[in-house]
Homo-oligomer: A and B are copies of this chain.
Amino acid sequence: MTEDELIGEIRAIAAVAAPQKLLVGIGDDAAVWQPSRSHRSVITTDALVEGVHFTSAAMPAADVGHRALASNLSDIAAMGARPVLATIALSIAPGTDPAWILDCYRGMTALAVASRCAIAGGDIVRAPATSLAITVIGEVRPSNCKLRSGMLPGDTIAVTGPLGASRAGLAVAVERPELASLPEAADALRAFRTPQPRLAEGAWFGASRNVRAMMDSSDGPSTDLARLANASGVGAVIDAVPVAPAARAIAAACGADAERWALDGGEDFELIVAVATRAFTHLATRFRAHFGRELLRIGYATEEAGVRFASGEPVARAGYDHLAGTR
């Protein structure tokens, strides 16, 4: 059973526990509910586990905290929302130094302050392995909330930045520490350890009627674009893969395929948007003027289901599947 199949079965079970106030449940970047008529609240939960998502050896405690919160804030950004508050369930392995825990909170707090997000509480429990499960609540105007399900055939698909740098940082931090002397290593490590959630970009896209669907790329476009297309009941063609310069350089030094890192590496936390094609050039121009970066076109939506390259070859879903280790 794959992760997405399991989530489908869970969704079927949990469907009966979905009262009227819940507008979007399991299956998008975040759930959406309506606390009152004029408000939409969004909620998302992400867990990071030592040895799976991070190793203390490869990452200072403050960066572990930053990264865990960043991955949740990225889901909030992907809804077009702004964060309000976060809660943290911290599981600590026996023998964990309290100084590690406090540094982890310092990293979370710095990002929370920069993101205008409160840290509201949580739970601390002992466990065989250290992990953080973070929940973030955000708010969005009803008209600005972007789902995965709005992409139409013909829409232009774009990302908010080049991809693969986080995967390159993993290579430098864990697999090939000797590459740390390369000039591009610092960019790669920064992308891996302290990714920046695209909150301003997400809110900006939320305000545009020409942005029809949005999600964040946490597992890489090879997996995430399939999710976006499936949720919208369409397909997609990838005809350009924007590779981060750091990913290009580190992959070359590793003898790895930089385009595959960009497609499958994940954790870049760029936003993927589906934009009405007639409006794309104008939106991209405004994006460049506003953010000083390019909005990078990667392909377009099709009527035919599935995700393919322009050559017609299917894009294999090679992103990390958490269920791969289960029966």
A binding-site residues for B, Cβ under 8 Å? 1, 3, 6-7, 9-10, 13-14, 16-19, 21-22, 25-28, 30-31, 33, 35-36, 38-39, 41, 43-49, 51-53, 84-85, 87-89, 91-92, 94-98, 101-102, 105-106, 108-109, 112-113, 116-129, 131, 133, 135, 137, 139, 322-327
Contact = CB atoms under 8 A, between A and B. Distances in A.
B326 A98 contact: yes
Q: How many copies does the complex hold?
A: 2
A92 B131 CA distance: 12
Nearest to A127: B49
Q: Select the residue from A9, A14, A30, A39 with max chain B CB neighbours within 10 A.
A: A14
Given A47-B89, A326-B97, A35 B36 contact: yes
Contacts of A323: 98, 124, 126
Contact of A125 (B47, B85, B102, B139): B47
A39 to B, nearest CB: 6
Contacts of A48: 125
A120 B22 contact: yes
B327 A43 contact: no
Contact of A33 (B45, B85, B89, B101): B85
B96 A326 contact: yes
Given A49-B91, A95-B327, A325-B94, A17 B127 contact: no
A118 B18 CA distance: 4
A35 B139 contact: yes
A21 to B, nearest CB: 6
5 smallest A-B Cβ distances: which pairs? A133-B133, A31-B120, A89-B133, A17-B112, A135-B135
Nearest to A102: B9
Contacts of A124: 3, 6-7, 322-323
B19 A118 contact: yes
A220 to B, nearest CB: 16
